Amino acid sequence: MRLRLLYHGHCFDGVASAAVFTRFYRARVRAEAEVAYTPLLHTAGALFDEAMFDGDENAIVDFKYSPSARLTWWFDHHQSAFLSPADEAHFRADTSGKKFWDAESKSCTEFIARVAQERFGFREAALAPLIRWAHVIDGAFYESAAQPVELREPALQLMQVIENAAEDDFIERVVRGLASRPLEEVATDDEVQRHFRPILARHRETVETIRRKAVYARGVVTFDLADEGLAGFNKFIPYYVCPETTYSVAVTRGPARAKISVGSNPFSPRPRRHNIASICERYGGGGHAVVGAVSFAPEEVERARRVAREIVAELQEGYD
C-alpha cells in the first residue's frame, strides 16, 4: 500500500503538515503504508499533473485543491485554495469525508491536528511543539520582528533551512524526521545545523541588502531583488529594517519563477486595511488576508515589476 503525499514545499507549515498527516495516517488509516513525498510550489501555469497522483491513495496538504478523481485526502487553509469556481464546486460536492478546508485556521498543521482529533480520534502529545510552532510561524505570532530575523530558537533555524535548502531529498528527510522524532531533536540535528550555518550567513547578507534597497513611502516598503541573485528572503526582514511600515511588496526571481511577495506588518503602528489574498488573486496569485504572492514565468520579471508597482499604488491609496 503506497500513499503519495504532496505538500507545500520550502514552507515550514507545509513540511509540518506533511509530518503530522503522516503520523495520523499511519495511526488511523494504514500503519504499514509506504509514504512517498512530493513538494509543490506555486508557479505560473498548471500546478498539477495527473501523473503526480501515482499512489494507491493520494493526499495534498497545505496546497491548492485538485479535482482529480485520484485525490483521496486534502487539507488546506488558504483563502485562495481553489484554482477556479468549478474546483470549489467539486470540493463542496465531495462526500468522501476526507477533504477539508478552513480559511480561518492560522496554520494547516493545526487544522490537520484538529480534524484528526475531532473526526478520527487521533491525538499525540509529542506533536504539540511542532503544531505550536507551525501556528506561530504561519500565523506570524511572533514576539517582535526581531524574533524571526535573529533566529535564536531551533525551530526558527529549522524554518530557515526548510525555506532555503535546495535539495528536495534533504527536505524529505526532514519531513520523515518530524514524523517520527521530536521537533527539537530534528532542529538541532547535526545535518540540519550544517545546512543552517551557511544559510545564516547568507541571511545576514540579505538583511543588509534589503536594508540598502528598501524604499519606504506612505505605509509601504518596497524592494527589488530580481537582479541580486536572491530567489527568496525571510518575510520579516522588511519589518525589521523598516518598523514603521504597514505593508511590504518585493520582487524576486529564481530558476522556476519571478515572484511578487506581498505582506503586512503584524507589528505595524497602523492597522491593515487590505485583504492581500484578494489583491493577489486578481493577478493569478493568492494567499491569506495578511500575506500573499503572485508568480510569473522567470523571464517575465518586467511584468512582475509592473504588477508590483500597481499593488504598491493600491496599498498606498488613502494613506494619510
Choose which CATH entry (3.10.310, 3.30.420, 2.40.360, 3.40.50) describes domain 215-316: 3.10.310
With H, G, I as helix, E, B as strand and everything else as coil, classify residue 262. strand
Contact 65, 82 (CB under 8 A): yes
Q: Where are the beta strands (DSSP E) in 84-199?
A: 99-101
* Domains in the chain: boundaries: 2-134, 215-316
> Which residues make beta-bridge pairs with 251?
224, 260
Domain 2-134 class? alpha beta
Looking at residue 217, the DSSP 8-state letter turns out to be E
Predicted confidence band of residue 70 (pLDDT cuts 50, 70, 90): very high
Residue 190 CB partners (closer than 8 Å, separation 6+): none
pTM of the model: 0.82
Structure confidence by residue, pLDDT tens digits, 90-104: 999 999 999 999 999
With H, G, I as helix, E, B as strand and everything else as coil, classify residue 293. strand
Average pLDDT, the chain: 94
Give the per-residue pLDDT at 168: 84
